[in-house]
Amino acid sequence: MNILVLNGPNLNMLGIREPNVYGEKTYQDLENTLQDYASEKGITLDIKQSNFEGVLIDLLHYAHEHFDGVILNAGALTHYSYALHDAIKSIGVPVIEVHLSDISKREIFRQHSVIKDACLKTFQGNGFSSYLDGIKYLIKEEG
């Protein structure tokens, strides 16, 4: 199985940005955790991060013919990017929405996800485990 892990704006700042919310582990720690898990399970992960909405949309379009599933943490774009919603709806691969924090318990503007309905499932509030839960779900769904 070939999975794209796609991270949106500011996730490259993990370990620096609001450690009380996102923890002290770095983006590299996230990549290492996910790659270690993928290695254990015999799956392939391609992990990308961009602070630019258009790049994320291009990567989702690319996923259409090159990946079996997508794990997407769209960061703040989760809350207002209908362009990402439409990109997810336009591809034929399952997309799992993930968040490190529980967005339903944060600021009002973060409590609504405009991409949720386009995604197969959402995992949130469990730090790096949210990503692992998403991968496990894809493996179960696709395996």
Q: Among all residues, which ones are annotated catalytic?
A: 22, 99
11 and 49 Cβ atoms separated by less than 8 Å: yes
Cα 3 off chain centre by: 11
Q: How many Cα atoms sit within 13 Å of 28 on the Cβ side? A: 1
What span, in angstroms and rounded, lies between the C-alpha atoms of 24 and 46?
A: 23
Which uninterrupted H or E stretch holds 8? none
What span, in angstroms and rounded, lies between the C-alpha atoms of 20 and 112?
A: 21
